[in-house]
Chain A
Amino acid sequence: MFRYILRRLLQMVLAFFGTTLIVYALTFAGQGDPIQALAGERPVTPAQRAYLTEKYHLDATGVGGFFYRYFDYVKNLLQGNLGESLTGRNIGDILQQAWPVTVRLALIALAVAIIFGVTAGVLAGIRRASIFDNSTLVLTLLVLGIPTIVLAPLAQYFLGVKWQLFPPTAGSDPTFYALLLPGIVLGSLSLATALRLTRASVAENLRADYVRTARSKGLVKRRIVVVHVLRNSLIPVVTFLGVELGNLMSGAIITEGVFNIPGVGFNLFRGIRTEDGPLVVGIVSVLVVVYLVSNLVVDVLYAVLDPRIRYE
């Protein structure tokens, strides 16, 4: 296990450099004039242009110039310096402000998925083909079918504006209550998937041979379901939720955008829109690390939950 984790960490280093390189290339290769993009409609004086060219090593051109700037960037990154955005703000500071908001939002979404999705999935799996099972099927298909870009404004309009049950937007430094509605919207997709997955897994495990054995041991039905079936059924669900947490942590561009939540996704989207290369690359680099770490955690968790999995 230890050796497996070590090997995975080494793989992560490679994956990290690979992805940052690609993101770096994609962001800057397609860019016309970054200095003009920074200034927007306003004219740029030759002095400003010269200063920025000097600062970002924009004078070196071609592939050589690209790698020059990339290694420059990686060098700073390894020192924990994410650099500055084109607007002159420290990217580390931006993330430090944005991340707690996104993490809170992600945890709310995940809690929604677990509390409602997994519970309903277990019940639907046990009572297969019941009214409850069929109605959850319809509801989850509906949720899975509606994209967030539709669901989020709808929820915002009805629950936030019209009936005023929740604050319609979060704003800077949002409270738990302000994040609740966006969290539910964000979590609804994970909820639906978690529900379907749990239901299928429970239904399958209820038919497993070991359940027949447990019955022949004369165990009470409750124990068979709660101990034997659930322990096995939740292996894929926990795996899914782990990966999902990694996804949610990397920010939700649409949800954060609609509800005006100053999280990671919100900042990333702003970076993309304003062609702020350093900001995009900075955020994505950190997201890559978050994603890689969460995947590693899921893999390790998987081995803990399922003794048949051995990483050697």
Chain B
Amino acid sequence: MTVNPTPASATPEGGHLLELRDLHVEFRTNEGVARVINGVSYHLDAGETLAVLGESGSGKSVTAQAIMGILDTPPAFVRSGQILYQGEDLLTRSEEQRRQVRGKEIAMIFQDALSALNPVFPVGWQIGETLRQRAGMSRADARRRAVELMDLVKIPGAAKRIGDYPHQFSGGMRQRVMIAMALALDPKVLIADEPTTALDVTVQAQIMDLLADLRRELNMAMILITHDLGVVAGVADRIAVMYAGRIVEHADVRSLYKAPAHPYTKGLLESIPRLDVRGQELSTIKGLPPNLMRIPSGCPFHPRCPYVQQVCVDEVPHDLVLGDGRTSACHFAQEVRDDSVAS
């Protein structure tokens, strides 16, 4: 594994709210070591939304859990890298210091709110728990604030529903409870890990709108983890595309959609069903995501890539800077982008 000699996102110290530098995470299992994160670097500035896009197993959730410090160790180990929050490396902090950051500075919401909420406690209690335990609020104050938070995420009849249990809510309302809980301590960064995956399409849109509104109102920064390109377009400022534990392409939303510069991103965009082009076969990315215990040599995408050449098998591509803060980890980034523009 070569370390990128000139990280594309290199900026002055303390320039970003949150910055990952060359993060490596591996899972040590009985079957062997799975290299789940292989040198991920990205950054997040105050008030912006970064979308992290990728298939299942690309390492996007693991990266988020590494930021939160909630990876299960073992099997997961952060091998190297830095996670800078306001210029300070969280990985060098003690567990107690990291706990203080969780929820208060960086909060996270999860994919399936039904299993992510504790089934045996009322939702108001669960929202209030954060306030009681972390902000030292009294029971009554925490309860009052919990109702406010439930109002904030637009749960109808919040005061009446505060004693209800998670299973008594619809999927969308449950996800709102989850969001209210994450917002309890006014975090500066909200990590949303596939917040709409378990939901109906119409509800998905509502939740995304809510997240976008809340982010604006509360002036948070947001990392939106998703595998759904449709979700990203309206909400994100920048996109980082992950494949096999690496960021393969990094760009602002507009230019990425217009002209993807990595064959993987291109493949993803082409595999979106379009209503305006009828009678055409849906294109797919052939093959399967790599086994993380045996990541292909060179560019990990090469076995599935239509642009593959010998160099792809031999050499790991560096991030190619394409201007406007765009990077693509592809030996043929220019060609891919030019093709994308042409088509």
Contact = CB atoms under 8 A, between A and B. Distances in A.
B134 A210 contact: no
Contacts of B121: 231
Given A216-B70, A217-B102, A218-B101, A232 B108 contact: no
Nearest to A307: B165
Contacts of B134: 217-219
Contacts, number: 77
A216 to B, nearest CB: 5
Nearest to B165: A307
Interface string A207-218: 111101111111
Interface string B70-111: 101000000000000000000000000001111110011010
Interface residues of B, number: 31
B116 A213 contact: yes
Given A212-B110, A308-B165, A218 B116 contact: no
Nearest to A223: B133
Interface of B: 65, 68, 70, 72, 99-104, 107-108, 110, 112, 115-121, 129-130, 133-134, 165, 167, 178, 181-182, 185
Contacts of A308: 119-120, 165, 167
Nearest to B96: A220
A212 B102 contact: no
Contacts of A207: 72
Interface string A174-217: 00000000000000000000000000000000011110111111
Which 4 A-B pairs give the minimum distances between C-beta atoms?
A218-B102, A218-B103, A209-B115, A210-B118
Contact of A216 (B102, B117, B118): B102
B120 A305 contact: yes
Contacts of B110: 209, 212-213, 216
A54 interface: no
A235 B119 CA distance: 12
Contacts of A223: 133
Contact of B118 (A214, A215, A218, A235): A214
Contacts of B117: 210, 213
Interface string A40-55: 0000000000000000
A215 B115 CA distance: 14
Contacts of A213: 110, 116-118, 178, 181
A217 B120 contact: no
Given A213-B110, A235-B120, A306-B120, 9 more contacts: A210-B115, A210-B118, A212-B70, A212-B110, A213-B117, A216-B103, A217-B103, A306-B119, A308-B165
Contact of A209 (B104, B116, B181): B116
A219 B129 contact: yes
Nearest to B65: A212
A221 B49 CA distance: 31
A228 interface: yes
A56 B70 CA distance: 74
Contacts of B103: 216-218
Contacts of A307: 119-120, 165, 167
A208 B178 CA distance: 16
Contacts of B107: 216
11 contacts: A208-B115, A209-B115, A212-B65, A216-B70, A217-B133, A218-B104, A218-B133, A219-B130, A231-B121, A232-B118, A235-B120
B133 A210 contact: no
A216 B102 CA distance: 6
A306 B133 CA distance: 24
A215 B70 contact: yes
